[in-house]
Amino acid sequence: MTPLTAGQRFREAQRQERPLQVAGAINAQHALLAKRAGFRAIYLSGGGVAAGSLGMPDLGINTLDDVLTDVRRITDVCDLPLLVDADTGLGPSAFNIARTVKSLIKFGAAAMHIEDQVGAKRCGHRPGKEIVSTAEMVDRIKAAVDARTDAGFVVMARTDALAVEGLEAAIERAVACVEAGADMIFPEAMTELTMYRRFADAVKVPVLANITEFGATPLFTTHELQSAGVGLALYPLSAFRAMNKAAETVYGAIRKEGTQKGVIDIMQTRAELYDVIGYHDYERRLDALFAQERAK
C-alpha cells in the first residue's frame, strides 16, 4: 500500500481524536518529547520561531527561510504530522503564498494556517490588530489551495476578525474561506466557549481552538471543547514557556550561588536526553564501524 502523506496523516489523526490535541514544538527535541507523551500531531508557532529562533517579537518579521529551517529540523527526526504557522503567507503576493505552500510540502509539513491580518501583523492576542478585506483573505486561501502539490496537505484559514469586526463578521469570513477551499478554520482569540459552537455550526469543517496561556481565550478543557464542537485543540507555546522559565531559573541560580547544585532536580538528566534522541543507537553504529575498520 502507498503510505499516507503527512497531510493525510494529519487529517486521519483529526478524524480519530476529537478534539485532536496539537502540541507546540519549538524544536526537534520537543517534537520527540511530544511524540513520547502520546500526542498525534505537533505545531510550529510563528511566534515561537520569532522568539525562540530569532529572539524577536511576533510582528511578521519571520521569513520563509526562517520557518523552513525549523520545519526541516523537526520533520527530519519526528514523523508526527506538523501544522505550521504561515502568518499572512510569508510574503506580500499570491506568488509568495504559492511558494510557501510548495516549500512546506517539500520540507515535510502536513498543514499550514494562514491569517487575515495585514502584512505587518501582531500576535493574535494583542490589541491593535488590522485585518485585510474578506475578498483579499479569500484570494489568499485560493492561492494556497491552488498551489498544493499534495491534495492531502491541509490549508487552514485563521481569522482575527473577532477583535476588529465582531463575531458575526468573523463567522462570515470563515464561511467565505471554506467556500474558497479552506479545509479547516482557526478563529483566533475567542473569549467564550459558545463562540466555537457558532463557528462549528456555520462552517461545517473542523474548527481549531487556540488554548494559549496568558491570552484572551480561557484555558478550556478538551471535554469542554468537544461539547462545543471543536475539532482541534492547540497548545502552541506551553512547553516553550516552561522551558524559558526553567532556563531563567537555572541561569539565575548559577550566577547567584556559584553552582547549579540547587537546581539539578529541575533538569533533564543526561540519560533522559540520550534516551529521547536515541544517542546509544548512534554510538552502537559507530562501535560497529570502528570494529570493521580494526578487523581489516
Give catalytic residues, as residue numbers: 43, 58, 85, 87, 113, 115, 123, 158, 188, 210
User: What would the grid cell of residue 83 be?
Assistant: 501544522
24: β partners: 43
**Nearest CA among 71, 11, 22 for reference residue 46:** 71
Sheet strands (E) in the chain: 20-24, 41-44, 82-85, 111-115, 154-159, 184-187, 208-210, 232-235
CA–CA separation, 242 and 193 (whole Å): 26
| Residues with Cβ within 8 Å of residue 72, at least 6 apart in sequence | 107, 108
Sorted by sequence, the CB contacts under 8 Å of residue 269 that are 6+ apart come out as none
